[in-house]
A and B are shown apart, each in its own frame.
Chain A
Amino acid sequence: MHDYADIFARSFGLILTGDPGLWSVVLLSLRVSLSAVAISALLGMPLGALLAMARFPGRQPLIVLINALMGIPPVVVGLIAYLLLSRSGPLGVLGLLYTPAAMIIAQTVLVLPIVAALTRQQIEQLHAEYGEQLRSFGVRGLRAVPTLLWEGRHGLTTTLLAGFGRAIAEVGAVIIVGGNINHVTRVMTTAIALETSRGNLALALALGAILILIAVGVNAVVTMLSLSAGRGTRG
C-alpha cells in the first residue's frame, strides 16, 4: 500500500529544503494563529482582570458565559463568521471572506474566551492569596492588577499557549471562512483535511507530524523566553 517511511522522509525533506509550497502553508498557519493569540491577549487579559477585580451586576453570569464559550465548536464559529462576512451578510462590504483576515477573526473568537476565562481565574486566585498583603502596602482595587498579572506571568504564559494550541489545531472554522484556497488561505489543518479526502493518508499524516513539530517549537521558544525573563528580573 503506502510506503509511510518514504513519504515521511520526503515531507520532512520538503521542509528542510525550504519547499516554497509547504513553507507558505506553514507560515500562513503561524501567521493566522499567532495573530489571533495576540489580539486575544490584548483584549482577553484586561477583560479577565476586570472580571476578577471589579464587582458589577451581571458579573457572575458573564463569567459563566465566558467559561462556557471555551468549549464553543470551531465549526459553529466558522458558520457565524461566514454569515457575518458573506457578501450577503452585514459585514460583506468589507470583502474579507476567503482571506487570512477572516481566518484571524474566527480564531480570535475561539481563543479570546480561553484567555479571558483563565486570566480571570488566575488573577482571582492570586488576589485571594495576596490581596491582604497588597492592601497593607496601600495597593488596592484595580491598582493591584499589574502586580497580580506580574506574579501570575508564568500561568498567563501557559494560558496564551493553550489559546495558541486551540487556534493552530482547529480546522472547522478556517475551512469555512478561508475556503482552503491554495496559496491564499490554505493552512496546515486544511491541507491535512484535503490530503485525507484525496486518500493520500501517508502525506496527511506527515503533514500532521510537521504540525506537531511546529507546536512543540512554538512552546519551546515561549518557555525559554519565559524562563529567561524570570531569571533576568529576579537576579
Chain B
Amino acid sequence: MSAGGAERGTGRESIRRALTWIAALLLSLLAGALLFVAGITGGGVPAPEQARFVILQSTTSTRNSGLLDAILPVFEAETGIEVRVVAVGTGQALRNARNGDGDVLMVHSRADEEAFVAEGWGVARHDLMYNDFVIVGPEQDPAGIAGMGDAVAALARIAARGARFVSRGDDSGTHKAELRLWAEAGVDVAAASGGWYLETGAGMGAALNMALGLDAYTLSDRASWASFANRGRHRVLVEGDERLFNQYGVILVNPARHPHVRAEEGQRFIDWLLGPRGQGLIAAFRVNGQQLFFPNAR
C-alpha cells in the first residue's frame, strides 16, 4: 500500500467504496453459507417433522466391522426409520445415553448395562449377540503365549516378562473385560502403566495400530480384529478361553427419564433386531467368509 493509496482511500467516496466492499464480501460469504445450509448438497438435516430416525449409541466394533452397514439399510428400507449411529466406547455410549443423547444403546459390558437399567436410565436390557475377545500379538511372541488356552495365565506371563501390552484405557467394554482378566491374574497394571503397560485412551482401531507399531500385545474383540485391514505381522495368539466371552446387549433409553426419546421408533428397532429378521441378518454377516457375531436373543 502506498501513501497515494491512502490518499485515494480517504473522504466520503472511499468510505462508500469500503462499505460496498465489506457488504459485498459479507453477502457473498453469507450467500455461500446459506446455499450450503439450504441443503443443496442433499446431505442436510431433514426437517424434524418429516424425519423418522433413532440415534443409536453404539460400541465401535459393530460399526468398524461393517455389521451395522450390512444390516441397518435393510431395517431402514423395511420401516422407513433411519438409524443414526454414534459409535464410541461402551463407557462413553452409556454416559451419552444417560444425558439423553441417544434413543437406543448397543454395547458390551453386561454389569454396566444392568446398572444402567436398574438406575432407571434404560427400559430393559436384552441379549443381542455374542462373540469373543482374542489376545493379539507379534508373530515373534516375546512372552511365549501362542496357543495358550488360559487367557489369565497368558496375561500373567506377559506381565512377568514385562512384554509391552497396549490397553484401550478408555472405559470401553473391551477395556473393562481386560481389567477383569488382569485382576484375576493378580497383576497390578496401574503400577506398570507407562512401563510395559501402555494405556492409549483410544478406540480399538487406534490401539491396534499402536500395538502394531510397538510390537506389543493387546486384547481385541474378534470382530474388530477380523475386519482390521492393517494387521501387519500380528496374529491371534490366545483364544477360546470361556472368560473371553463377549456379550452384546441392546437397551431402549427410558422415555420416563428423557421425554424426547423416540421410544416408538427405538422399540421397533429393538424388536426387529431381536426378531428373526435382525437375528438372521446378524448370523449371515461375514467378513472374509468368517462369521463375527452370533445372535443369541431370547
Contacts and interface: CB of A to CB of B under 8 A. Distances in A.
Interface of A: 1-2, 20, 23-25, 27-28, 30-32, 34-35, 37-39, 41-42, 45, 86-89, 92, 95, 97-101, 129-130, 133-134, 137, 139, 143, 146-147, 149-151, 153, 179-184, 194, 196-201, 229, 233
Interface stretch (B8-16, B155-163, B183-191, B242-250): B8-16
A137 B208 CA distance: 68
Given A38-B30, A130-B6, A143-B15, A179 B86 contact: yes
A147 B9 contact: yes
A199 B229 contact: yes
Interface residues of B, number: 56
Contact of B206 (A92, A101, A153, A196): A196
Contact of A134 (B10, B85, B203): B10
Contact of B43 (A24, A95, A130, A229): A24
B17 A35 contact: no
Contacts of B232: 1
Interface stretch (B21-29, B139-147, B169-177): B21-29
Contacts of A143: 15
Interface string B208-243: 110000000000000000011111100000000000
B199 interface: no
B6 A31 contact: no
B74 to A, nearest CB: 15
B219 to A, nearest CB: 16
B144 to A, nearest CB: 26
Contact of A28 (B14, B43, B101, B204): B43
Contacts of A179: 55, 84, 86
Interface string B252-277: 00000010100000000000000000
7 contacts: A98-B86, A147-B9, A147-B10, A151-B5, A179-B84, A196-B206, A199-B230
Contact of A95 (B7, B30, B260): B260
A143 to B, nearest CB: 7
A198 B61 CA distance: 10
A35 B10 contact: no
B118 interface: no
Given A150-B9, A151-B1, A42 B26 contact: yes
Contacts of B10: 133-134, 137, 139, 147
B203 A197 contact: yes
Nearest to B30: A38
B206 A149 contact: no
